Amino acid sequence: TWESLEGVVKHNGPLVQAGRSIEALPGAIRDYDQRHPLDLAGWCGLEAQVAALADDIAYNNHDIDDGLRAGLFRVEDLRDLPLVGETFREVYAEFPGVDSDRCNAEAIRRLIGLRVADLIAETRRRLAQAKPEDVAAVRAAGGPLVAFSEGMLAQEKLLRRFLMDRMYRHYRVNRMMSQARRILRDLFTLFLDEPDVLPDRWRAMAGASGSTQTAGVACDYIAGMTDPFAIQEHRRLFNLERWL
């Protein structure tokens, strides 16, 4: 639907603002907007605004769990983070002797609940203040109507900084990212240069070797891959051991 496309494109807010013209946007967005205008200077609808922040809640909180499970940091390292440290201390004090994985899961569950409650309260406040009568008023509001409170935003900023320093930039994560980039680069280069190796349905949509059309088809094919499938496809195309 138009609303779904608008929400995806304007996930982080309007794309055309003061100091940034439509010419600065990626070509794919510019081209699509010419055929099917997405109101790039306005905010997206309320459903899309909710989806964007629901994504942030899930992403940040589950990354805490992932980092703990992967051993990239410990519960003790979280103690100085506002809200996060307090919640973990509360859970461990309430359930002494309980397995750490279960305590961590309960702490993450509570953190999600606290952020959802904050989001609902702040959104109700903004809606009561703005009183939008229709979706056009939502798009022209001059700012998001679905949002966290200033206090929660400050806490989220500290959490993201912690995760950036202790998880996203960890050498083990960097190695995986490097490997992923090489796999994607290899696949794209091969499909662009040799479109005949694409599956039949995709080959039928591709153009000549090295063409813009083939590049687009290669991008679409790769974008639809899961991580395991991309790894398997790379092995099928680049691993020569099967021929030895």
pTM given for the model? 0.80
Q: What is the pLDDT of residue 136?
A: 94
Q: What is the pLDDT of residue 220?
A: 96
Task: Name every residue whose Cβ is closer than 8 Å to that of residue 101 and which is 6 or more positions away in sequence.
Answer: 69
In angstroms and rounded to an integer, the radius of gyration of the C-alpha atoms of the chain is 23
Q: Tens digit of pLDDT per residue, the chain (244 long)?
A: 899 999 999 988 899 876 677 888 888 888 889 999 999 999 999 999 999 999 999 999 999 999 999 999 999 999 999 999 999 999 999 999 999 999 999 999 999 999 999 999 999 999 999 999 999 999 999 899 999 999 999 999 999 999 999 999 999 999 999 999 999 999 999 999 999 999 999 999 999 999 999 999 999 999 999 999 999 999 999 987 765 4
Could you tell me the CA-to-CA distances from 18 to 29, 41, 76 in Å, in that order? 18, 9, 44
Q: What is the pLDDT of residue 18?
A: 64
How many whole angstroms separate alpha carbon 48 and alpha carbon 229?
Answer: 30
Q: What is the pLDDT of residue 19?
A: 66
Q: What is the pLDDT of residue 97?
A: 92
Q: What is the pLDDT of residue 81?
A: 94
Q: What is the pLDDT of residue 243?
A: 58
